[in-house]
Amino acid sequence: MSAQARSNLIGLTHEQLIVHLSMLGEKPFRARQLMKWIHQRGIVDFEAMTDISKPLRKRLSATTELLLPEIVQDYPSSDGSHKWIIRIASGSQVEMVYIPEAGRGTLCVSSQAGCSLDCSFCATGKQGFDSNLSSAEIVGQLWLATAQLGGFGPNAKRPISNVVMMGMGEPLLNFDNVMAAVNLMMDDCAWGLSKRRVTISTAGVVPAILRMQGQTDASLAISLHAPNDELRSQLVPINRRYPIRELLAAVRVYMDSLPDRRVPVIEYTLIKGINDHRRHARELAALLETFPCKINLIPFNPFEMSDFETPADAAVSNFRQILKQAGFTVTVRTTRADDISAACGQLVGAVADRTRRQDRYRRKLNENPDLAMGNFIICDSGRYSN
């Protein structure tokens, strides 16, 4: 079997491993053994897997590989967070971020090199798009971060309790690889993370949300960012194809398919003068009145190629209070790792952009700096227009 045709075992699910091993004449229990060596003990050398027979190790070495992405840069933050830049097979570089908090450690994982959706407030979208990450490159980020944080070994305590697919890319546009990766993260023979602690964040790819039924039972977060279609279509262009009502209906179908009583998280980035007014909060409360959810408010984090601004603390507080008074559970995401450009919305990596979007943005900005606002015009009344 040629090197190009080799299966990377790091990204194979339990079921996929069973199929692969059956073709080698091996029994299903070998899949559990391999998964525990790779994902629980951090071993990616077949020769070190001592309870697997030498003949099988030899066949695995000849027909498969254990290949991880490469860490090329390492950025520790003053607040204890950590960002790593990794190189993937396409040659692009993507980012993953570890955020420690009291009682938990969260890893923000990328699913694509760049992003095709071009949301106006997100640095990743301005980088254009190169490629999807393989399942091994996605779950490999969890492996690498765990190794970097000293989480392998007989007495090691796993530092990562939560994984969020909120890094670079739209996860549901890389559906098969993301499903395989998150299911590995939740598999007891692999990482064993709780289904409540593995979250897929989407800008609203409605057919893929519906397709998730029966494929996974990971938690779901929705990048909403506006209380109406007019504004959301400016901030999140995919809304022009899948408007809010259609999106919320699909989310409800998926959540109802889960065996427990989880609710989705509504993510709402607050941008000064764009979507942070009291009337937006009241409109959001009305929109979600009959939609069980939690709301996470995210003050905008500045980045190059955007003149959007972070809202005042008072605006964030007022927005939150209106939603709380309407009966919602509301959190405000504390800005972390902004000193290493790893806060929410700031991830950029180094994308071999096949869309030429980076060049177009920079050319337009040189010609007209006002376009950094994404064509938004803030009127004296505080209303938005385009």
φ, ψ for residue 343 (rounded to 5)? -75, 165
pLDDT at 339: 52
| Beta-bridge mates of residue 322 | none
Residue type, 123: A
So what's the architecture of 3-65 in CATH? Orthogonal Bundle (1.10)
Cβ neighbours for 215, distance < 8 A, ≥ 6 positions apart: 179
- Catalytic residue status for 246: no
φ, ψ for residue 316 (rounded to 5)? -65, -45
pLDDT digits (tens, 9 = 90+) for 127-151: 778 899 999 999 999 999 999 999 9
Angle formed by the axes of helices 313-325 and 278-287, to 10°?
30
pLDDT digits (tens, 9 = 90+) for 369-386: 554 444 443 333 344 443
Tell me which fold the domain 70-385 belongs to: TIM Barrel (3.20.20)
**Are both 3-65 and 70-385 of the same fold?**
no
Domain boundaries defined on the chain: 3-65, 70-385
φ, ψ for residue 107 (rounded to 5)? -110, 125
pTM surpassing 0.85? Answer: yes
* Per annotation, catalytic residue among 26, 95, 137, 267: 95
User: What's the token pair of residue 34?
Assistant: 């391999």
List alpha helices for 265-312, DSSP H. 278-287
- Catalytic residue status for 122: no
- Does residue 14 have a pLDDT over 60? yes
Rg (Cα) of the chain, in Å, rounded? 22
Reported in sequence order, the residue ranges of the chain that DSSP labels E, i.e. its strands, are 7-8, 64-65, 70-76, 82-87, 93-101, 104-108, 112-114, 129-132, 162-165, 198-202, 219-223, 265-270, 294-299, 329-332, 377-378, 384-385
Q: Are 104 and 162 in contact (CB under 8 A)?
A: yes
pLDDT digits (tens, 9 = 90+) for 300-355: 988 776 788 999 999 999 999 999 999 999 999 876 555 545 445 444 455 454 55
* Per annotation, catalytic residue among 108, 122, 293, 344: 344
pLDDT digits (tens, 9 = 90+) for 260-303: 989 999 999 999 999 999 999 999 999 999 999 999 999 998 87
